[in-house]
């Protein structure tokens, strides 16, 4: 697979191969799962620890693709689950807000860039201690395994898109299949006909929609053509980001407030602000004007670009 290791100098690769460090392959994800049960009024801390362990093992021990990942290529990600008291009847019923975040290393630096930073506020599920988590991508097993698997494929797809344009498609299709299997279950967050445009259905629908391809392309251009060369080509890198933002502005005109555009900027708002804290003032004004339109919720943050 085209990944961060493909940029290592040939000599470094030879030394790694000689040492055998690339001789064994690992799963795709290295996920840190945190479960916070303070809002549930449940005093049994063991159940939350059990959830944390079980969910982490589900994400980290499963092989999600047919690609070969070396240990140092595993995608670093965080799943923060804030449980709240469930309105559903029955012991072991939960509602939760979930924050999903993934990161990508930047070539020739110690810097790690956030690729995905998404808040899912519509998760309800049932869980009993030591409950096994089964998953079949062609059938609905549980709302736990479906949600975790859905975001596993989204994370892998977005990471792939940062290395090669369009390479996330196979994983988004798998995520879409999970949505299709879950739609008729009655659990929120999967349905097309919802008042909420930031649910799982619209996220994967947008990623696979041709109208949104300039945003998909931006994942590649922003990381490979801008961040990965930023140390040596700052002016060129900034202009690539500006061009990408212009294309995102056109997408916004067609599909305002798309969850795909919002997801990209939720991950990149702070970073873009830092990148354009320097550079020619006309360019910074152009960036500010675009971002103020496509991401008005962060307008105050972007104000520092032109100060």
Whole-prediction pTM value?
Answer: 0.90
Which residue in 25, 252, 228, 62 sits closest to 145, CA to CA?
62
Is 218 contained in some domain? yes
Mean per-residue pLDDT, 7-15 = 38
The pLDDT tens digits of the residues spanning 120-176 come to 999 999 999 889 999 999 999 999 999 999 999 999 999 999 999 999 999 999 999
pLDDT for res 74:
96
Helix (H) or strand (E) holding 103: strand 93-105
Is 163 contained in some domain? no
CA distance 17 to 70: 11
pLDDT for res 195:
61
Banded pLDDT at 198 (limits 50, 70, 90):
confident
pLDDT for res 267:
98
Domain that holds residue 299: 214-307
Largest distance between two CA atoms of the chain: 61
Rounded to 10 deg, the angle between the 213-220 and 143-161 helix axes is: 70
pLDDT for res 87:
65
CA distance 182 to 143: 8
pLDDT above 70 covers a percentage of the chain that reads 89
Is 239 contained in some domain? yes
CA distance 163 to 121: 30
What is the torsional sign of CA 280, 105, 52, 174?
A: positive
Mean per-residue pLDDT, 270-297 = 97
pLDDT for res 24:
55
The pLDDT tens digits of the residues spanning 30-44 come to 999 999 998 887 878
| Average of per-residue pLDDT values in the chain | 90
Which residue in 207, 202, 283, 281 sits closest to 245, CA to CA?
283
Is 294 contained in some domain? yes
Banded pLDDT at 193 (limits 50, 70, 90):
confident
Which residue in 214, 219, 189, 218 sits closest to 204, CA to CA?
189
Give the burial string for 101-110 (b: 16+ CB within 10 Å, else e).
bbbbbbbeee
pLDDT for res 7:
42
Is 135 contained in some domain? no
CA distance 250 to 214: 9
Is 53 contained in some domain? no
| Cross-strand partners of 98 | 81, 120
The pLDDT tens digits of the residues spanning 213-267 come to 999 999 999 999 999 999 999 999 999 999 999 999 999 999 998 999 999 999 9
| Cross-strand partners of 123 | 96
Q: Are 198 and 117 in contact (CB under 8 A)?
A: no
pLDDT for res 192:
87
Is 220 contained in some domain? yes
pLDDT for res 8:
39
The pLDDT tens digits of the residues spanning 19-70 come to 444 445 689 999 999 999 988 878 788 999 999 999 999 999 999 999 999 9
Domain count, the chain: 1
The pLDDT tens digits of the residues spanning 117-135 come to 999 999 999 999 889 999 9
Is 228 contained in some domain? yes
């Amino acid at each position: 697979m085209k990944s961060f290791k493909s940029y290592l100098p040939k000599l470094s690769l030879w030394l790694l191969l000689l040492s055998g460090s690339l001789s064994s392959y690992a799963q795709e994800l290295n996920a840190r799962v945190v479960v916070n049960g303070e809002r549930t009024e449940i005093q049994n801390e063991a159940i939350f620890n059990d959830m944390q362990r079980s969910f982490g093992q589900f994400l980290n021990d499963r092989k999600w693709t047919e690609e070969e990942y070396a240990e140092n290529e595993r995608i670093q990600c965080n799943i923060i689950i804030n449980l709240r008291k469930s309105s559903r009847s029955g012991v072991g019923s939960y509602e939760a807000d979930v924050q999903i975040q993934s990161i990508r290393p930047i070539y020739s630096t110690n810097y790690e860039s956030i690729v995905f930073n998404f808040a899912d506020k519509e998760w309800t599920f049932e869980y009993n201690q030591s409950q096994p988590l089964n998953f079949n991508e062609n059938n609905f097993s549980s709302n736990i395994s479906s949600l975790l698997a859905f975001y596993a494929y989204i994370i892998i797809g977005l990471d792939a898109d940062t290395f090669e344009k369009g390479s996330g498609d196979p994983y988004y299709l798998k995520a879409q299949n999970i949505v299709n299997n879950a739609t008729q279950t009655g659990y929120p967050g999967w349905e097309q006909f919802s008042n909420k445009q930031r649910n799982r259905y619209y996220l994967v629908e947008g990623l696979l929609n041709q109208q949104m391809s300039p945003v998909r392309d931006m994942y590649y251009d922003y990381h490979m053509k801008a961040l990965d060369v930023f140390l040596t080509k700052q002016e060129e890198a900034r202009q690539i980001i500006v061009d990408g933002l212009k294309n995102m502005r056109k997408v916004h005109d067609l599909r305002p407030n798309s969850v795909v555009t919002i997801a990209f900027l939720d991950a990149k708002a702070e970073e873009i602000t830092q990148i354009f804290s320097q550079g020619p003032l006309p360019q910074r004004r152009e960036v500010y004007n675009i971002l103020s339109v496509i991401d008005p919720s962060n307008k105050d943050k972007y104000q520092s670009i032109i100060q």
